[in-house]
Amino acid sequence: MPDFMKSSELTNEEIENITDDKNNKRWYVVNTYSGHENRVKENLEKRVESMGIQDSLFRIVVAEEPEIEIKNGKQVEKMHNIFPGYVFVEMKMTDEAWYVVRNTPGVTGFIGSSGGGAKPFPVSQDEMESILRRMGKGDRKVVVDFKAGDTVRVLTGPFSGMEGVISTMNDQTQIASILINLFGRETPTDINYNDLQKAGE
């Protein structure tokens, strides 16, 4: 279970300590109807524009990552929602921004609000970084011990446990293209640095 879903275990005092600064830009988790995540993102982006609150609401992210499916022997890439029913919002928790987000169609509330008008607490910076990195949008780069030509093992996803040789690496997106043997043929597959380990370790 992700830490942001356990956060309701914090005490009221801890919650107050991390939500008292309205001038801080932080990440919060918004609960949505399942399947409405992208619609909520679009609705929020439109409201930010129409209500002129660009100084309170910043990035709005649906946590998705590419997922490879094999159909009729061909690779098909589609986006897979890592946290169905949740949208991540980078915002300053002003009264106005809080009201706008809560009253956006499709939003059912904030994760980490104790109810009764209490404002929610933010997601920890480390956890948000981990989620953004997984999507290829992180600010911090992963330092890896493998390079093009090395054999690596895939740690997660549909190719978990399989090994392949790195053909190219993109340090900007933190994604390596590796050649995996599928159906007796070497097939290039893009995998996040986080999900790879040098073979033999």
The answer to whether 144 and 49 are in contact (CB under 8 A) is: no
With cut-offs at 50, 70 and 90, classify the pLDDT of residue 15.
Answer: very low
Q: pLDDT digit string (tens) for 64-95?
A: 877 766 666 677 777 778 899 999 999 999 99
Which has the closest alpha carbon to 104: 43, 61, 26, 161? 43
Q: pLDDT digit string (tens) for 157-172?
A: 888 889 999 999 987 7
Strand order in the sheet with 57-61: 57-61, 86-92, 25-32, 107-110
Show the domains of the chain with their CATH numbers: 3-134 (3.30.70.940), 151-198 (2.30.30.30)
Q: Count the helix, strand and coil residues of the chain and give each as a percent rounded to the nearest 5.
A: 25, 35, 40
> What is the CB neighbour count within 10 angstroms for residue 69?
11
